[in-house]
Every structure is written in structure tokens, then in C-alpha cells.
Amino acid sequence: MADPTWLHRHVHEPNPIVPTPDPTVILAHPDGSEQAVGVEDLARLPQQTAAGCYIVSTGHGTTGPFTFSGAALADLIAAQVGDGWEYADVIAGDGFGNRVFARELPQPPARPILLATGIDGQPMSRQAGLVRLIVPNETDDALRQVKWVARIEVH
């Protein structure tokens, strides 16, 4: 498949419009099979936190710090797909997305890349991005904080 446009060209105006009410994520395996992953499935994985995260927006300025919580992206893939993956495209219902490479995964004690379902100790609302990708070492413009993750395509 050709690289999606969002790999190369980002709009940096946050979209506030929730695309669909359902937070279920479709996990697409390298063999083409797909499975639905609900918020309750993510809650069964080890819960991790990433403190000191900011949302840096051209639209509304900088907010935070926030402590995001949820399952690590790597833990979901390890549990459902296995190892040996190269990258995962994390795609939102509004067409926004980001590619996460296995080789860039932070090693503990660095803050993990999360599929966040909580913020500051509370369940995250759909409006706030449930399920929201958090790449803690991205601090410039929140362009990797994919809100409303709808698909994760593992390659």
C-alpha cells in the first residue's frame, strides 16, 4: 500500500468534532485478519501511566501537564499479534493518524507509548479523544496524539 498522506503532510489544527460515538478499535493483523478491541479489553492489559504530557496546539495553545493512563500499545500488539512487527499505523475515525515503529519504542523507565483511556485519574471522555494515542517523547505539537483511534494496522 502507498504511504498514507498523513505520514507526510499534517494539518496542525486540532479537529474538535468526534467522528463516531463508539470507541471500539479495530486491530488489523499483518495477515489481514481483524479483531475488535474494546475499552474493556484495553483495561485488562497492564495499566501504565505517562505523567507530564502536554497538548500543544496552534488552535488553543498549550494545556497540561496531564497524566495519561492506559495500556501500552506494545503490550496490546504483543498480546494479540505477537512479536516481530515492524510498524503500526494508528488511524483515527476522522482520517488523522500516525505511524509508530517498533524500533522507536521507549525502554523502561522511559514513559511508554499508550493507548490512553484515562486522563488525570479519570476515565477519558470520547470528546477528549478516547482511545487516544500518547507518544510521550513527542512534545512539539501533539501531532502524534491521535484522538479517537479507530484502527491499528500492524505490519
- Contacts with Mo ion by CB under 5 A lie at 12, 57, 141-142
Distance, CA of 91 to CA of 83 (rounded, Å): 21
Q: Which does 92 bind (CB under 5 to 8 A by kind): Mo ion, ligand MTE, none?
A: ligand MTE
> Is 50 a binder of ligand MTE (CB under 6 A)?
no
Q: Does 12 bind ligand MTE (CB under 6 A)?
A: yes
Cell of 132: 487516544
In terms of CB distance, is 30 or 64 closer to ligand MTE?
64
Does position 145 interact with ligand MTE (CB under 6 A)? The reply is: yes
Q: Is the four-CA dihedral 38, 40, 43, 49 of positive or negative sign?
A: positive
DSSP letter at 131?
S
Q: How near is the Cβ of 107 to ligand MTE at its closest, in Å?
A: 25
The residues, ordered by sequence, that sit 6+ positions from 28 with a Cβ below 8 Å of its Cβ are 34, 151, 152, 153, 154
Burial class from Cβ neighbours inside 10 Å (0-12, 13-18, 19+) for residue 76 reads buried
Q: How far is the CB of 101 from Mo ion (least distance, A)?
A: 21
Q: Does 14 bind ligand MTE (CB under 6 A)?
A: yes
User: What are the residues whose beta carbons fall under 8 Å from the beta carbon of 128, sequence distance 6 or more?
Assistant: 119, 147
Instruction: Kindly indicate which of the ranges 25-33, 71-79, 103-111, 143-151 contains the residues binding ligand MTE, using the contact rule CB under 6 A.
Output: 143-151
What residues line the site for ligand MTE (CB under 6 A)? 12, 14-16, 55, 57, 92, 94, 96, 128-129, 141-143, 145-148
